[in-house]
Homo-oligomer: A and B are copies of this chain.
């Protein structure tokens, strides 16, 4: 059976589209994209954060690069990968679609949060407004370096690892809002747990820098 030329054309086109699809068909590659939404990273860091072997991470990154979703830049001994133009928006769109349509995502997160005893879910945008307003203490509990790369205007950097030892710095009469990398990062969840243990009134802001950028919320850089 012979194929019509227009069929061949369509097959070609959709084959191309599917390259993007195939690139985001693997959980690990999605996780790499998620990490890269935070900013450029070297292969080693990516492999570490995504719990992959170096070789495996490198392979996944090359798949993403072949689909033009990320770009590589070699400087000296290190290769730094960054998201390509327009990919952050696409990834967030995929995530939102998954959250909206797959009840399982909600179920998984709920299960995790409940197990950590942190379930009161404050309305996200309202909480973000309060964080921006300045009448709560806003904590950025990511590693200091990530804080430097971009953070909420009046957030102070207190990496989770240092939180316990720096509790004295925090005013005890104000509510504390903690955030980290986004909805599926666990740093802020842990931070809130610690803060509550120590008697603070703390809540978690579920969104992170990528979400804010996409929504046009101002994100400061530097210390």
Binding site for B on A (CB under 8 A): 3, 6-7, 9-28, 30-31, 34, 51, 67-69, 84-87, 89-90, 93-98, 100-102, 104-105, 108-109, 112, 184, 186
Within 8 Å by CB of A101, from B7, B68, B101, B184, lies B68
In the complex, are the beta carbons of A27 and B17 less than 8 A apart? yes
The residues of B that contact A20 with a CB separation of less than 8 Å are 24, 94, 97-98, 101-102
Assuming A98-B20, A104-B16, A105-B16, is B11 touching A27 (CB within 8 A)?
yes
In the complex, are the beta carbons of B112 and A100 less than 8 A apart? no
Assuming A10-B184, A14-B34, is B100 touching A19 (CB within 8 A)?
no
Within 8 Å by CB of A25, from B25, B51, B95, lies B25
The 6 listed contacts between A and B (C-beta, < 8 Å) are: A10-B184, A14-B27, A14-B31, A17-B98, A86-B96, A86-B101
In the complex, are the beta carbons of A102 and B25 less than 8 A apart? no
Assuming A93-B93, A102-B19, is B6 touching A186 (CB within 8 A)?
yes
Chain B CB within 10 Å, residue with most, of A14, A28, A95: A14
The residues of B that contact A16 with a CB separation of less than 8 Å are 98, 102, 104-105, 108
In the complex, are the beta carbons of B98 and A86 less than 8 A apart? no
In the complex, are the beta carbons of A28 and B13 less than 8 A apart? no
In the complex, are the beta carbons of A108 and B13 less than 8 A apart? yes
Assuming A86-B101, A101-B68, is B30 touching A18 (CB within 8 A)?
yes
CB distance from A150 to the nearest CB of B (A): 22
Within 8 Å by CB of A94, from B17, B85, B101, B184, lies B17
CA–CA, A17 to B20, complex, Å? 14
In the complex, are the beta carbons of B109 and A13 less than 8 A apart? yes
In the complex, are the beta carbons of B21 and A25 less than 8 A apart? yes
In the complex, are the beta carbons of A21 and B10 less than 8 A apart? no
The residues of B that contact A30 with a CB separation of less than 8 Å are 14, 17-18, 21
Q: Which 10 A-B pairs have the closest CB atoms?
A: A21-B24, A25-B25, A14-B27, A68-B101, A21-B25, A18-B27, A6-B186, A22-B25, A16-B105, A15-B27
Within 8 Å by CB of A18, from B3, B13, B25, B84, lies B25
